[in-house]
Amino acid sequence: MNSPSLMILVAGPYRSGTQDDPIRIEANVKHMTEIAWQVYQKGHLPVLGEWFALPLIQTAGSQTIGDDIFNQIFHPVAIQLLDRCDAVLRTGGPSQGADEMVRIGREKGKRIFVQVQDIPDVKSS
């Protein structure tokens, strides 16, 4: 039996609990990236909204996390990305943004996973 490869949005805390400390934010992104690696090892294509949004935010001229430019791009990019994804993996601790991605993912009919172990391995015949 074949299990198709899925594009899975890894949704976890970015700013939550960091008081916008760049070192703590970097740790959150590192954690999500490590989870993405586990998803990839199962045969799927993981994506983080941050991978798309952060370069755009920088190029658009954002001066600080949470400024108008940041807010116009950060979550909207992830929401657009959900249109292309098959599933959402919610990871990490409390995060209104990650919870929003799960909620919107459900509304869009996406599969929702809460741990990597719940994601099926891609198998081929």
Q: Write out pLDDT tens, residues 16-44.
A: 999 999 999 999 999 999 999 999 999 99
Q: Which residue has the tokens 């998803």?
A: 39
Going by pLDDT thresholds of 50, 70 and 90, the confidence category of residue 1 is very low
Residue 117 DSSP symbol = G
- Does residue 12 lie within any of the structural domains? yes
Contact 117, 37 (CB under 8 A): no
- Whether 124 is in a domain gets the answer no
What total number of domains does the chain contain? 1
CA–CA separation, 58 and 95 (whole Å): 23
Q: What is the mean pLDDT of residues 45-54?
A: 98
Q: Does some domain include residue 1?
A: no
Where residue 124 falls among pLDDT bands split at 50, 70, 90? low
- Domain extent for 65: 7-118
14 domain residue, yes or no: yes
Within-domain flag for 2: no
Decide if 26 is inside a domain. yes
Tens digits of per-residue pLDDT, 74-115? 999 999 999 999 999 999 999 999 999 999 999 999 999 999
